[in-house]
Amino acid sequence: MASGSTIQQFNKSTLLIVMIGADRTITAMLGELSDEYDLETSPYTIADNTFSFVSVRDSYALLDRISPEDFVRDEQMPYWAEIWPAAVTLSEFIVEGLEVAGKKIIEIGAGVGVASVAAAKMGADVLATDYSGEALRFIRLNALKNDVDLRTEQLDWRCIHCDDRFDILFAADVLYERVNLLPIVNALDKLMNPEGYAYIADPRRRLAEQFLDLAFENGFSVTSYAKSFRRGKQTIPVNIYRLSKSREENV
């Protein structure tokens, strides 16, 4: 029978091997992505939790990657590549006061995965999704960098092919085009449990009011939280909307 000290030594050695393996994977992923993109790493501290996220330094530099045919078909811009103030604000909201541990969560339009990583860090079972397959590579890297487990999947909110239902749905800065508003409302219906909640962060765009009208028309109740993104001298107002078809209050 192995002694206690031998078992402890084995566990430490196993942990060291896992950490070395993760570091090598992160290094390899960073190398692959840096060959294709001009990368930027941004640190954030939220309620004593330290995060580090890799994104693209200039998303507009990716416009050359979009062929005219693809743009005509999808009108997809590389918004996924940046870390938007609404995503950081939603992450702060998650870490500082939302009970997500053990909850089944999906994020739509996850981008580089800021909110998904924050939720996973707080103990949630997270599926991070985005229309862009490129975004999923960044989400996986950022999950590794922040030592969290989550799943990724490509998802088009205009055409949901997902049988799972989730306790909480997150989305940040997705209300930027009128054509997306009704598909997002429909996505909430298809992806949320009957008693579930959606939290959508938006930098107070005018389109958000039209989205809320559509949500009301489709049976959702809405609670609004006034927040703000602050970095240095910069302050950007951000609203977080909680949508639900359940009458039970649950923050």
SS (H, E, C) the chain: CCCHHHHHHHHHHHHHHHHHHHHHHHHHHHHHHHHHCCEEEEEEEECCEEEEEEEECCHHHHHHHCCHHHHHHHCCCCHHHCCCHHHHHHHHHHHHHCCCCCCEEEECCCCCCHHHHHHHHCCCEEEEEECCHHHHHHHHHHHHHCCCCCEEEECCCCCCCCCCCEEEEEEECCCCCHHHHHHHHHHHHHHEEEEEEEEEEECCCCHHHHHHHHHHHCCCEEEEEEEEEEECCEEEEEEEEEEECCCCCCC
- Rg of the chain over CA atoms, in angstroms? 19
Residue 4: Cβ within 10 Å count: 7
Determine contact, residues 83/114, Cβ cutoff 8 Å: yes
- Average pLDDT for 213-233: 94
> Hey, where are the domains in the chain?
1-36, 38-244
Q: Confidence class of residue 96 from pLDDT cuts 50, 70 and 90?
A: very high
Residue 19: pLDDT over 50: no
Determine contact, residues 129/155, Cβ cutoff 8 Å: yes
Residue 14: pLDDT over 80: no
Q: For 98, left (φ over 0), alpha (ψ -120 to 50), or beta?
A: beta
Distance CA(113)–CA(150), nearest Å, equals 10
pLDDT digits (tens, 9 = 90+) for 107-119: 999 999 999 999 9
pLDDT digits (tens, 9 = 90+) for 147-200: 999 999 999 999 998 889 999 999 999 999 999 999 999 999 999 999 999 999
Residue 11: pLDDT over 80: no
Which among 97, 8, 115 is positioned nearest to 53, based on CA atoms? 115
Q: Confidence class of residue 7 from pLDDT cuts 50, 70 and 90?
A: very low
**CATH 3.90.1150.10 is the classification of domain 38-244:** no
The Cβ-side half-sphere exposure at 12, using a 13 Å CA radius, reads 6
Q: What is the pLDDT of residue 8?
A: 52
Q: Which residues of 197-220 are buried (b: 16+ CB within 10 A; e: fewer)?
A: bbbbbbbeeeebeebbeebeeeeb
